[in-house]
């Protein structure tokens, strides 16, 4: 191998130019998707979940409320246990405030996502730059991670919390590395870790934990126990934040659909080694059973980068020595890959293929490091043939799985081979060190062309577009005749493929988009669900129900004898007429037909009652009177209780975390309604029922300790620095800056 002469240090202007190029090209590629599909970043969970969570969060903050629980939203109202609302995250709170005043949900979602794609690109750029990668190739790595299949078609298009945590990881990673080797301080490392964890996306928090482990191991490999200790210390502080964010969900799991089911493989979103081998083909639709009909992904979800075969240009004798200095990258890559190839369910961790973006982040960072620091020169024809062979194998696997894609696969393979030939030629130019700028231009040009070809063919996510209008104001008047609280009977999605004179959303909404309406509806989006309530109402996570719910609503319940509609404090029933048949024409006694639309009919109580959250039933002999009621607290005056005591049932879910003074929380009525046991001596007393997430005191204490610990550490370092800089002060070992 020829020794590559050390390139001169980039001046600051040169570095900033390439950072600017990273931002510009990432934005160009991201906005380019909109040329073919203006709703590219407004699919599935973003459309019916994330945006409306932000909107409701911002609205609550503007009203002077910090949201914790909303009884009217039933199983979608336990905001703390949901986690992904990000109520502990100042960045998410800021996004929520913006969402609450925007007029276009799609435009706002697009802006947020493009910003996070740029955050990911620049973070990756700096992460590899810090490891000796020249600025031009750092630009390539930064842009390339945002073009990978899973990021483009799943996280960016729909699963925005996954995008957010992944985008923040390279920044947290860089801060940890700098903290470990004494070049950085605790505030940056803790702050980046805090923001990532507080998004509430468990896959991102898991990979941050492995990043901590990788950096600690890397410091120990270098014999730097003090640096490892610094990183471990910040890990403890961030771990306390994990307690704050995730303990409510853990404490609530026993009643939700997120309980631990052990380790199993359902084959849902499960991939294999062949899928990863073919990931260099931008047109490879690998085996990946999912919501779609075929066992093959409808878009190239596993695509990583066309230029991965340049690893054949690396001198691996030098590469192996080099990798010892980057053991943290190896650990994260190995763990992410193992999980992607592993079972689909590991306890509460579902669908580990969601970790593909972390495979791309660590993998592309290593490619950049190896290419620029362990390159074999000259790059022989044998090496070029080896790289070409990988492209050919990937193309064959892509074609073998989907023979109908031959033309597209061949085109992608031809572009990749041409790119490899050009890269080899550019590397070989000149007798001195490699000029990385031309190489970067070539790699970027092919990457962007490949991306453009891919998006022309696949211009939308494989996840659904529910056709909701992005105009926020347009949703306010949906179901104007309905009175809160309301419930929707039927399936919104079953009506999307049917031709209508007006869009479905003009009469009914889906999931979190009900937050945009003036009427409060139970059927909002939830990531956790309450099992017993879900069974009784046959309601899924998107808020859709079976047609049979209409009959159930007016059927007496086993414990209270009340109709289910009374037990749930429902004042309006909205139903899809074609699903319930002619029943919609005959409202029961005490109800009126308030609206008859093209798709839906709406029943409203002749005399609307109290909204959800209050007392709906008292056992014989018990008399209580409501003194006050809020989302998280109910106060009752006890006027009479029989000798044996009695119970009071409230129209709110029996989430873990309720406590009562002068009474006790009993077993849930019918398995899901909050029930209070009132003792015989409670007559004349006030019963206060209060909700706090499970482990609330521990969660608050953990957050306070984490924040104070970070401040104390930073102040201590600052004082030590100043003291050591005084004339005559004894020499001190290096400290964090």
Q: What is the pLDDT of residues 422-439, one digit of tens each?
A: 999 999 886 668 899 999
Query: Distance between terminal CA atoms of the chain?
Result: 40
- Which residues pair with residue 530 across a beta bridge? 256
Would residue 725 count as lying in a domain? no
Residue pair 498/533 in contact by the 8 Å Cβ criterion: no
Would residue 56 count as lying in a domain? no
Q: Assign 647 to helix, strand or coil.
A: strand
Give residue 7's pLDDT.
41
Domain range for 658 is 615-691
User: Do 375 and 494 fall into the same domain?
Assistant: no
Would residue 623 count as lying in a domain? yes
Give residue 133's pLDDT.
96
Would residue 215 count as lying in a domain? yes
605, 639, 660 — which closes off a domain?
Answer: 605
Sheet arrangement for strand 345-346 = 263-264, 345-346, 349-350
pLDDT tens digits, 601-616: 999 999 999 999 999 9
User: Do 485 and 444 fall into the same domain?
Assistant: no
1 vs 521, more confident: 521
User: Do 145 and 268 fall into the same domain?
Assistant: yes
* pLDDT score of 92 more than 80: yes
Give residue 260's pLDDT.
59
Would residue 533 count as lying in a domain? yes
Measured CA to CA, the distance from residue 673 to residue 319 in angstroms comes to 62
Give residue 1's pLDDT.
29
User: Do 425 and 288 fall into the same domain?
Assistant: yes
User: Do 592 and 629 fall into the same domain?
Assistant: no
* pLDDT score of 714 more than 80: yes
In angstroms, the Cα distances linking 634 to 74, 637, 685 are: 16, 10, 14
Would residue 568 count as lying in a domain? yes
Mean of pLDDT values over 139-160: 98
User: Do 416 and 294 fall into the same domain?
Assistant: yes
User: Residue 118's closest CA among 137, 104, 139?
Assistant: 139
pLDDT tens digits, 201-233: 999 999 999 999 999 999 999 999 999 999 999
User: Do 124 and 219 fall into the same domain?
Assistant: yes
User: Residue 446's closest CA among 410, 418, 407, 406?
Assistant: 418
User: Do 198 and 170 fall into the same domain?
Assistant: yes
In angstroms, the Cα distances linking 588 to 538, 555, 573, 584, 600 are: 21, 11, 11, 10, 17
Whether this model's pTM surpasses 0.85: yes
Give residue 12's pLDDT.
82
pLDDT tens digits, 45-63: 999 999 999 999 999 999 9
pLDDT tens digits, 362-420: 999 999 999 999 999 899 999 999 999 999 999 999 999 889 989 999 999 999 999 99
Overall number of domains in the chain: 3
577, 605, 633 — which closes off a domain?
Answer: 605
User: Residue 29's closest CA among 41, 15, 16?
Assistant: 41
SS3 sequence of 41-58:
CCCHHHHHHHHHHHHHHH
In angstroms, the Cα distances linking 457 to 149, 288, 451, 607 are: 13, 19, 10, 56
* Phi and psi angles of residue 716, each rounded to the nearest 5 degrees, phi first: -60, -45
User: Do 391 and 518 fall into the same domain?
Assistant: no
* DSSP secondary structure, 218-265, as one string: HHHHTT-HHHHHHHHHHHHHHHHHHHHHHHHHHHHGGGBTTS---EE-
Per the document, the length of the chain is 737
Structure tokens, 644: 């044996």
Give residue 430's pLDDT.
62
Give residue 259's pLDDT.
58
User: Do 294 and 193 fall into the same domain?
Assistant: yes
User: Do 584 and 621 fall into the same domain?
Assistant: no
427, 457, 487 — which closes off a domain?
Answer: 457
Give residue 499's pLDDT.
67
* DSSP secondary structure, 411-457, as one string: HHHHHHHHHHHHHHHHHHSSSSS--HHHHHHHHHHHHHHHHHHHHHH
* pLDDT score of 10 more than 60: no
Would residue 71 count as lying in a domain? no
Confidence label for 261 from pLDDT (cuts 50, 70 and 90): low
pLDDT tens digits, 270-286: 999 999 999 999 999 99
* pLDDT score of 735 more than 70: no
User: Do 628 and 686 fall into the same domain?
Assistant: yes
Residue with tokens 């990273």: 22
569 vs 497, more confident: 569
* pLDDT score of 4 more than 50: no
* Phi and psi angles of residue 602, each rounded to the nearest 5 degrees, phi first: -130, 125
Would residue 632 count as lying in a domain? yes
* pLDDT score of 3 more than 80: no
């Amino acid at each position: 191998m020829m020794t590559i002469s050390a390139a001169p240090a980039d001046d600051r202007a040169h570095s900033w130019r390439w950072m600017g190029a990273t931002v510009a090209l990432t934005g160009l590629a991201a906005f380019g998707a909109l040329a073919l599909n203006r709703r590219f970043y407004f699919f599935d969970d973003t459309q019916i979940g994330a945006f409306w969570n932000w909107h409701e969060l911002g609205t609550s903050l503007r009203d002077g409320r910090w949201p914790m629980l909303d009884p009217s939203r039933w199983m979608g109202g336990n905001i703390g246990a949901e986690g992904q609302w990000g109520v502990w995250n100042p960045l998410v709170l800021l996004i929520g405030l913006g969402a609450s005043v925007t007029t276009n949900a799609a435009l706002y979602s697009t802006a947020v996502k493009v910003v996070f794609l740029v955050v990911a690109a620049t973070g990756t750029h700096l992460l590899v730059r810090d490891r000796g990668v020249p600025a031009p190739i750092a630009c390539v790595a930064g842009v390339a991670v945002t073009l990978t299949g899973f990021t483009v078609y799943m996280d960016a298009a729909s699963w925005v919390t996954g995008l957010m945590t992944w985008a923040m990881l390279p920044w947290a990673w860089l801060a940890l590395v700098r903290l470990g080797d004494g070049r950085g301080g605790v505030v940056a490392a803790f702050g980046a870790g805090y923001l990532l964890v507080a998004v509430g996306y468990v896959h991102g928090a898991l990979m941050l934990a492995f990043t901590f482990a990788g950096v600690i191991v890397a410091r120990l490999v270098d014999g730097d126990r003090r640096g490892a200790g610094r990183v471990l210390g910040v890990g403890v502080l961030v771990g306390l934040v994990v307690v704050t964010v995730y303990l409510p969900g853990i404490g609530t799991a026993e009643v939700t659909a997120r309980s631990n089911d052990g380790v199993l493989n359902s084959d849902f979103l499960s991939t294999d080694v062949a899928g990863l081998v073919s990931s260099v083909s931008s047109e490879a639709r690998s085996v990946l059973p999912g919501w779609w009909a075929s066992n093959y992904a409808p878009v190239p979800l596993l695509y990583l980068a066309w230029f991965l075969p340049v690893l054949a240009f690396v001198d691996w004798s030098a590469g192996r020595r080099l990798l010892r200095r980057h053991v943290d990258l190896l650990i994260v890559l190995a763990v992410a890959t193992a999980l992607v190839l592993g079972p689909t369910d590991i306890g509460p961790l579902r669908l580990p293929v969601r970790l593909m973006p972390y495979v791309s982040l660590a993998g592309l960072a290593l490619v950049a490091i190896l290419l620029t620091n362990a390159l074999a020169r000259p790059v022989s024809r044998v090496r070029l043939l080896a790289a070409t062979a990988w492209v050919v194998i990937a193309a064959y696997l892509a074609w073998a799985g989907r023979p109908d894609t031959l033309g597209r696969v061949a085109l992608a393979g031809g572009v990749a081979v041409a790119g490899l030939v050009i890269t080899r030629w550019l590397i070989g130019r000149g007798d001195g060190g490699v000029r990385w700028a031309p190489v970067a231009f070539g790699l970027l040009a092919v990457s962007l062309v490949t991306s453009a070809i891919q998006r022309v063919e696949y211009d939308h996510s494989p996840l659904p577009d529910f056709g909701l209008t992005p105009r926020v104001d347009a949703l306010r008047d949906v179901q104007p005749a309905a009175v809160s609280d309301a419930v929707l009977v039927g399936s919104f999605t079953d009506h999307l493929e049917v031709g209508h004179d007006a869009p479905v959303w003009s009469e009914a909404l889906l999931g979190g988009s009900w937050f945009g309406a003036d009427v409060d509806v139970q059927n909002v989006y939830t990531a956790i669900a309450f099992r017993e309530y879900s069974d009784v109402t046959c309601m899924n996570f998107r808020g859709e129900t079976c047609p049979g719910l209409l009959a159930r609503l007016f059927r007496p319940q086993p414990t209270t004898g009340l109709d289910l509609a009374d037990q749930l404090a429902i004042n309006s029933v909205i139903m899809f007429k074609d699903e319930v048949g002619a029943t919609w024409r005959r409202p029961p006694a005490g109800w009126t037909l308030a609206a008859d639309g093209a798709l839906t009919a709406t029943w409203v109580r002749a005399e609307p009652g109290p909204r959800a959250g209050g007392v709906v039933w008292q056992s014989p002999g018990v008399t209580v009177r409501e003194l006050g009621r809020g989302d998280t607290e109910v106060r009752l005056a006890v006027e009479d209780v029989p000798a044996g005591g009695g119970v009071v049932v409230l129209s709110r879910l029996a989430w873990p975390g309720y406590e009562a003074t002068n009474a006790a929380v009993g077993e849930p009525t019918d398995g899901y309604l909050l029930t209070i046991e009132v003792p015989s001596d409670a007559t004349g007393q006030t019963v206060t029922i209060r909700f706090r997430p499970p482990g609330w005191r521990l969660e608050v204490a953990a957050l306070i300790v984490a924040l104070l610990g970070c401040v104390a550490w930073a102040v201590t370092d600052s004082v030590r620095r100043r003291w050591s800089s005084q004339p005559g002060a004894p020499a001190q070992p290096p400290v964090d800056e």
